[in-house]
A and B are shown apart, each in its own frame.
Chain A
């Protein structure tokens, strides 16, 4: 249990147990801006061109000429900094999961994750393998799953359309869940990778910035991160080696 009380910066209407902010409480201006922003976000998704596992083979047909995804507005981007959508297409070995978490945390919000195939849902074909993970949503928050082994490009595109509908309705908020429940995700990640595992990204500070800090964001696992904090203290920008994250609103 935490010793200190964490001041909750979230708005008074935030219910920490559900994933959606109560829509009725926003001002009209805010609602109009959000609606326009969601409309544009849904119609211009940049897919990170990195697919794990067996399903990587289903992505090229979905993007190229036959089942054109550019008419849905999606285009592949090569760096996690530029992408909105991360596709986890198939099994994730423990080694790859580390890199996927690093990529996910480098992506900029709002970001979406789609899990393809049964391996991300409940282990799939490799359910009794010691090296693959069984449930993706224990480690990073997931918006949408597609059943299949592997789903065909038509199914993949249907999932893209479903994700676009969810974004249009303002329901695709799984990225906020990462900030609200970071301690739980970190617990699961450290159970796999060891107690010393941490990333360069200061998730707790970001959660504070987005006003998504809750009681479940910090806990005994995030306390372990404090001993690494001075490695990433603020440098002179002329000598920075690791890009520091600065939030510019």
Chain B
């Protein structure tokens, strides 16, 4: 079935320039495109039975100064999920909304706008709905230091119990810096 899917898709993709696609797993296809060709691909695929938009994800790539948007669309007939990756530069941080092709895209775009700051032209409503009291920078950016924000905004209970002191006296306590889990910087 995956060969048939790829064959069908290759006929679709040949209509659009600059596309690379690869079948990574049994029901997963990864497609990399240019940003301005995405709405055309989505419209074509929707006509070819990929009628369900599962999600739109956004990845912050600070080292390249761009956002990577991934559109996941599923076909019930072929049982195949296509993940279309595009990259948009951070400086304008804008992209066109695919709300007219897939209606659920409106909420995903609203969420990405709230969390990353990406503006979608043509989206019906970009008001925040999760962080309605939020006044800071978009929190999902890698440049946002959440721990520093927490230390600045909230205060803590001062808790120095006896049992913790005893544990530290015996040599226990927090793990040393080099043994703590390192968060992936990628």
Contacts and interface: CB of A to CB of B under 8 A. Distances in A.
Given A128-B147, A129-B146, A134 B135 contact: no
B131 A135 contact: no
Closest 7 CB pairs of A and B: A134-B154, A122-B157, A128-B147, A130-B146, A130-B149, A94-B133, A128-B150
Contact of A122 (B130, B133, B146, B159): B159
Contacts of A95: 130-133
A193 interface: yes
A95 B133 CA distance: 7
B77 to A, nearest CB: 38
Given A122-B156, A134-B150, 19 more contacts: A94-B131, A94-B133, A95-B130, A95-B131, A98-B133, A122-B157, A122-B159, A128-B147, A129-B146, A130-B136, A130-B139, A130-B146, A131-B139, A135-B154, A135-B155, A138-B155, A191-B153, A192-B133, A194-B133
Nearest to B154: A134
Contacts of A134: 150, 154-157
The interface size bin for chain B is 10 to 19
A121 B157 contact: yes
Contacts of B150: 127-130, 134
Interface of A: 94-95, 98, 121-123, 127-131, 133-135, 138, 191-194
Interface-central residue, A130, A135, A138, A194, by most chain B CB under 10 Å? A130
Contacts of A130: 136, 139, 144, 146, 149-150, 153
Contacts of B147: 128
A128 B144 CA distance: 12
Interface in B121-173: 130-136, 139, 144, 146-147, 149-150, 153-157, 159
Contacts of B132: 95
Contacts of B144: 130
A159 B146 CA distance: 34
B24 to A, nearest CB: 32
Nearest to B158: A122
A133 B136 CA distance: 16
B94 to A, nearest CB: 25
A95 B156 CA distance: 20
A134 B132 CA distance: 19
B157 A135 contact: yes
B154 A128 contact: no
A55 B134 CA distance: 25
A191 B152 CA distance: 11
A243 B25 CA distance: 60
Contacts of B130: 95
20 contacts: A94-B133, A95-B133, A121-B157, A122-B156, A122-B157, A128-B147, A129-B146, A130-B139, A130-B153, A131-B131, A131-B134, A133-B154, A134-B154, A134-B156, A134-B157, A135-B154, A135-B156, A191-B153, A192-B133, A194-B133
